[in-house]
Amino acid sequence: MDMATAPAHAGAFDWDRLAACHRAGRAVCLPAPPLWPIASAYRLAIAICRPSRAGIRFFSVPALRFFAGDTEIRAPGALLPDARDASAGAYLRRLAAECPDAPAWLDIESPLVVDPATWRDVRGFLSGWCERLGCPVRPVASHLLLGRFRRNTNDRTAATLLLPLLGQVAVTQGAGGDTQRVAPGQLLYRPPGEAVEVAEDVGGVALRLDIPVQRTASTRELIALFASLVQPERYPQGLVPYLPATPACAADGAIVLPDALARDVEALGDFAAGPNAELAQRVQWIARASACALEPVPGCAEPPDLAPGDRIRSAPGTRILELPAGEGTRLWAINGHTLAVEATPGSRRLREALMRGGSSTVAALCGSEPALRDALAQLCAARGVEWTAADRAGGV
């Protein structure tokens, strides 16, 4: 395995080398820019854990899981981080003291969905992967790990980017393979397959990004998409059909498919062959590509009521992707959200101006076109552009 550490350039990352290692199936450790200050990550962990003090809530996003050795603890209570721990280091030391006999750690899945600023930074970082290797057709899963975690995996469906925020993590790739220790300021790329990850000493804090690589994922993604769109039409009240416990048989002994299932198959086939299937794919794909597949994405804020004198500034890393969506309509996607706009010279100029960056007034960007102002308000709600009301615009 290629485990050497490459020379660093301030603020840069060697995506070309990582892409080469990914294609070759080799692990590599590289200097990485700071994506998430440990103090900010720890404050977010406290906030996420607050509703779960009396017991972990299931089917929620972000999702919490707490482990002690090989056991998952469903009600960790005081073992979760809280304000009594002045820092992430203090929490790690307390957790190690309270659980001395076995590694104990907290796994927060999808933490970035409630931190739009950090989500945007990580999305911007992942754009380097997408530019060189393509955007994954399935979502990139994010995890915030805190504690003395020990993770054994044989996952061949995803590659991993591991970024320690505090402490060291030792990673062994494959049975009897080399062990690499990765620390803050570094990123470890781990190809799919057998591996062991261990946070050493009193533990650590790390951000892990799992990037799907399974070749059959695109077909499953289409089936799930089409089924989700057909389901409300077939069962508008959300009811679940009940079928006979004993399947009916035809005269020749063959099992007869119940009518409800036969209609489901027919409805799914009709949708897949109809005109809306491609549009549904376009909407989902352009949204995912605009998010660099880092999902779930933070929800939209309330659209502002824009005035002509309000000032607009493109947010860092603004990317407004565009696709045709029928006669006279374009699809725009930003930060994982989509909107339909009329294909007019004004909408083209608005998108081009925002992509160039800089600061402008609403009047300069939209003129007197209400449709453009509405589209701009939706882009503000998706956090793709920033706005300042006219009476506070002096410092913009």
Structure tokens at 118: 């950090």
pLDDT value at residue 52: 85
Compute CA distances 207 → 30, 38, 75, 210, 271, whole Å.
Answer: 15, 10, 23, 10, 40
- Whether 283 shows a pLDDT value over 90: the answer reads no
- Whether 395 shows a pLDDT value over 60: the answer reads no
| Owner of token pair 């389901």 | 231
pLDDT value at residue 161: 97
What 3-state DSSP class applies to 36? coil
Q: Where are the domains of the chain?
A: 15-212, 311-395
Residue 84: Cβ-neighbour burial (10 angstroms; 0-12, 13-18, 19+): exposed
Which CATH superfamily hosts domain 15-212?
Answer: Cupin (2.60.120.650)
- Whether 198 shows a pLDDT value over 90: the answer reads yes
Structure tokens at 52: 């779960």
Strands 169-173 and 195-199, by their bridges, are: antiparallel
DSSP label of 388: E
Structure tokens at 232: 């409300």
Structure tokens at 231: 């389901």
pLDDT tens for each residue of 115-137: 999 999 999 999 999 999 999 98
Q: Give the closest residue to 168 by CA, choosing from 146, 140, 143, 198.
A: 198
Q: CA–CA separation, 183 vs 167, rounded Å?
A: 6
How many CB atoms within 10 Å of residue 159? 25
Lowest mean pLDDT among 5-19, 51-65, 72-86: 5-19
pLDDT tens for each residue of 254-279: 888 888 888 888 877 877 777 777 77
pLDDT value at residue 238: 73
Share of the chain above pLDDT 90, in %: 63
| Owner of token pair 């781990």 | 190
Q: CA–CA separation, 165 vs 153, rounded Å?
A: 21
Structure tokens at 307: 């005035």
- Whether 71 shows a pLDDT value over 80: the answer reads yes
Judge contact between 385 and 313, C-beta under 8 A.
Answer: yes
pLDDT tens for each residue of 359-394: 999 999 999 899 999 999 999 999 999 999 886 544
How many CB atoms within 10 Å of residue 9? 10
- Whether 236 shows a pLDDT value over 90: the answer reads no
Q: CA–CA separation, 163 vs 165, rounded Å?
A: 6
Alpha carbon of residue 263 to chain centroid: 35
Structural Rg of the chain based on CA atoms? 24
Lowest mean pLDDT among 56-70, 207-221, 267-281, 369-383: 267-281
What 3-state DSSP class applies to 134? coil
Mean pLDDT computed over every residue of the chain: 88
- Whether 91 shows a pLDDT value over 80: the answer reads yes
pLDDT value at residue 13: 94
- Expressed in angstroms, the distance from the first to the final Cα of the chain is 50
The answer for residues whose C-beta is within 8 angstroms of residue 43's C-beta and 6 or more apart is none
DSSP-assigned letters across all residues of 38-64 = HHHHHHHHHHHHGGGTTSPPTT-SSEE
Q: What is the arithmetic mean of pLDDT over 60-83?
A: 91
Phi, psi of 61 (to 5 degrees): -130, 125
pLDDT value at residue 276: 77
What 3-state DSSP class applies to 282? helix
pLDDT value at residue 392: 52
Q: CA–CA separation, 89 vs 370, rounded Å?
A: 52
Q: Which amino acid is at 160?
A: T
pLDDT value at residue 217: 65
Total residues belonging to the chain? 396
pLDDT band at 67 (very low <50, low <70, confident <90, very high): very high
Q: What is the arithmetic mean of pLDDT over 216-241?
A: 74
pLDDT value at residue 172: 93
Sheet with strand 71-73: strands edge to edge: 28-31, 186-190, 158-166, 204-212, 141-147, 104-109, 63-68, 71-73
How many CB atoms within 10 Å of residue 157? 14
pLDDT band at 309 (very low <50, low <70, confident <90, very high): very high
Judge contact between 341 and 371, C-beta under 8 A.
Answer: yes
Enter the pTM of the model.
0.86
